[in-house]
A and B are shown apart, each in its own frame.
Chain A
């Protein structure tokens, strides 16, 4: 993976003496107005509805589409609000804990898998590599139904609910970690470790002291992605939750939208948003602290393709 210098040429007009003026639309270095507009419109299209939803979580009244005044009642403490309805808080707690647990299990598993598969040259590893990539492209409904079928019919010692959900979330998360960490591993190459071993380190020492610090940005990026995907997951959770004590926020929102929605749902969604952005900021800070090279942490994050 070569790092590309970000160009700023787009903003500079080559001022060459004696050159005749080029028509604005023929100038290849003109400001990209059209693309810029499209991009900003897209950004508005994606974020404004969510901001409006957040706004309505502070609505004084039952409507989610007619503004009736500002109030924090749906957070606390009118009947049906997040504070009063234990099922809403429970859903939030379940989502956050499941996300955290998934990160703790999937990240080491995925990092080890990435290291193992990248460095291990054999046909078996190629097969394992292929298998590990399939969950990424499997539709969630296939994965969710397969896990449901196997939990109910074969792995009956694993109760539906938190254990089953954790297993399911880790399964699709491992592939994300694998892809992110592996691409970084490939670009790092084996030179540093070889140098370390020439100096007398054992392979495990080399990994611990050299490789893992080098991989830190990718490990952080993948942890963030795993957390976000787990929080976001709906299908696998819906198939595996079993009963009400394991409902996560997406399931709660989904069920409630079809029944009797109130702005308490918006409040719940806002709280989850706050939770995941908090995690995002924490990880961003962590990434910056370990930053190597000129790549912005966001590039690392985006670069899992």
Chain B
């Protein structure tokens, strides 16, 4: 039975919901999620989009690690190849996430121009890397998108013979739960998520530090991370809705979204990923941020200001903290894969990694660069100790992992609603 819009019979077809309230739309949005844009409200007879509740491949979990497949159609590069030279070396990364000096040195050493195409969230990253005809040499995915990219053959497996510095990594990360055997990725940084604030403007920190974002005293200078998982996840935790920050329960996600929509009217909240520059410059007083932002923020302070004005809050109990990691991977379309391996090897080198940390503020999980070492070396001032991530945090903390397409679509619908101004 095909849907014919000119057929008069269809026009008189009774609707199931004569009054479409917002709740009804959100329920409709859930159907949307289940059918990924299907289940037409006007009941056309096509099953346009079958409900996709399983991903079609095993989803990695900390208690259910996966070994990603290496297919014949997507082999790693051969051993002993010469590094490519000349032209552009294209990196797809967050903005201001790798020290320009490191990129310049690498480029000079190998005779290439290193360029960074920035994105602010994984959605943008996926859109860019999937563009036909585009090729990037390095990309920085997190565990929540990794399996998807591997099964869609967007990444190529690594050849470890080019990366001897793997041994510098924490043992847990030489064999992580989302990529057993480090077949496709190596970790780049580890971080936590919390609230960065101006210590000179914030009078007192409540026990539930997330409440700072809902405090009307800071109206106009409150920012959320422009990342749907982080923003909605934070709301789930702040409002004690659930500790499962990957939940697929529509009621929970709806409640969490309503809470951040409330922020729009209450404190005029905005979203971006630039806490590292906005809090030091004073544009933001409260900014949901990752733990590297306050440390990097020291560099963005205007003349005459000291790091005392910066502060970072995260939950007291390690079991309540949100932690994560970014990884380096080589896209399948890389034009200079040998150089890609060599840059990965460089980034695992203790000295280069230390220099990178000094610039972007995010800790690399290398054995030598322990938290104690970094503090002793003076990279982390006393008042920003809470921004340090410890190995124990990764035993207990909450992390985002990859969810099934319908749950993803559900979160997206709600995020779009938030972005529409509520």
Q: In whole angstroms, how far apart are the Cα atoms of A132 and B269 in the complex?
A: 43
Q: Which residues of A contact B90 (CB under 8 A)?
A: 243-245
Residues of A within 8 A of B277 (CB): 259-260
- CB contact between B115 and one of A157, A158, A245 (< 8 Å): that residue: A245
Given A243-B90, A244-B90, are A260 and B133 neighbors across the interface (CB < 8 Å)?
Answer: no
Q: Does A160 contact B (CB under 8 A)?
A: yes
Counting chain A residues whose Cβ lies within 8 A of the other chain, the interface size class is 10 to 19
Chain A residue nearest to B274 (CB atoms) is: A259
Question: What's the least CB distance linking B20 to chain A, in Å?
Answer: 27
Please report the total number of B residues contacting A with Cβ < 8 Å: 24
Select from chain A the residue with minimum beta-carbon distance to B127. Answer: A152
Alpha-carbon distance between A62 and B277 when the two chains are bound, in angstroms = 12
**Shortest beta-carbon distance, B420 to chain A, in Å?**
16
A246: nearest residue on chain B (CB-CB)?
A: B117
Q: A62-B302, A258-B274, A259-B96 are in contact. Are A160 and B133 (CB under 8 A)?
A: yes
A152→B274 contact, CB < 8 A: no
Give every chain B residue within 8 A of A260 (Cβ-Cβ): 96, 274, 276-277, 281, 300
Shortest CB–CB separation between residue B129 and chain A, in angstroms? 10
Q: Is the interface of B mostly helix, strand, loop or mixed?
A: mixed
B7 proximal to A (CB < 8 A): no
CA distance A258 to B303 in the complex (A): 21
Given known contacts A152-B131, A152-B132, A258-B274, A244 and B117 CB-to-CB distance under 8 angstroms: yes
Given contacts A152-B132, A255-B118, contact A245 B88 (CB under 8 A): yes
How distant is the Cα of A87 from the Cα of B117 in the complex, in angstroms? 11
In the complex, A135 Cα to B95 Cα: how many Å? Answer: 34
Q: Mark A178-214, 1 if CB is under 8 A from B, else 0.
A: 0000000000000000000000000000000000000
Q: Which residue of B lies closest to A256 (CB)?
A: B95
* B128 contacts A by Cβ under 8 Å: yes
Distance of A158 Cα from B132 Cα, bound (Å): 9
The answer, yes or no, to whether A61 is at the interface (CB within 8 Å) is yes
The answer to whether B131 and A160 touch across the interface, beta carbons within 8 angstroms, is yes
For residue B173, which residues in chain A have a CB less than 8 angstroms away from its CB? Answer: none
Counting CB contacts under 8 A, is B136 at the interface?
A: yes
Q: Is A156 an interface residue (CB 8 A)?
A: yes
* Chain B residues, CB < 8 A from A242: 117, 128, 131, 133-134
Q: Which of chain A's residues 136-168 have a Cβ closer than 8 Å to chain B?
A: 152, 156-160
Q: Map CB proximity to B onto A282-304 as digits: 1 under 8 Å, 0 otherwise.
A: 00000000000000000000000
Does B116 make an interface contact (CB < 8 A)?
A: yes
Minimum C-beta distance from A163 to chain B (A): 9
Contact B133 A159 (CB under 8 A): yes
Q: Nearest Cβ distance between residue A76 and chain B, in whole angstroms?
A: 17
Q: Which residue of B lies closest to A153 (CB)?
A: B132
Could you tell me the distance between the alpha carbons of A242 and B129 in the complex, rounded to whole angstroms? 9
Q: A63 near B: Cβ within 8 Å?
A: yes
Choice from B96, B134, B274, B276 contacting A159 with Cβ under 8 Å: B134
Are B303 and A156 in contact, with the CB atoms below 8 A?
A: no
Contact with B along A228-251 (1 / 0, CB 8 A): 000000000000001111000000
Q: Which residues of B contact A (CB under 8 A)?
A: 88, 90, 92, 95-96, 113, 115-118, 128, 131-134, 136, 272, 274, 276-277, 281, 300, 302-303
Give chain A's interface residues, CB within 8 Å of chain B.
61-63, 86-87, 152, 156-160, 242-245, 255, 258-260
Q: Which 8 A-B pairs have the closest CB atoms?
A: A260-B277, A159-B133, A243-B117, A244-B117, A156-B132, A244-B115, A259-B274, A245-B115
* 27 pairs, CB–CB < 8 Å, chain A vs chain B: A61-B303, A62-B302, A63-B302, A87-B115, A156-B132, A156-B133, A158-B133, A159-B134, A160-B131, A160-B133, A160-B134, A242-B131, A243-B90, A243-B92, A243-B134, A244-B90, A244-B115, A244-B116, A244-B118, A255-B118, A258-B274, A259-B95, A259-B96, A259-B277, A260-B96, A260-B274, A260-B281
Q: A86-B113, A242-B128 are in contact. List 16 more A-B contacts (CB 8 A).
A: A62-B302, A157-B133, A158-B133, A242-B117, A243-B115, A243-B117, A244-B90, A245-B90, A258-B274, A259-B95, A259-B96, A259-B274, A260-B96, A260-B274, A260-B281, A260-B300
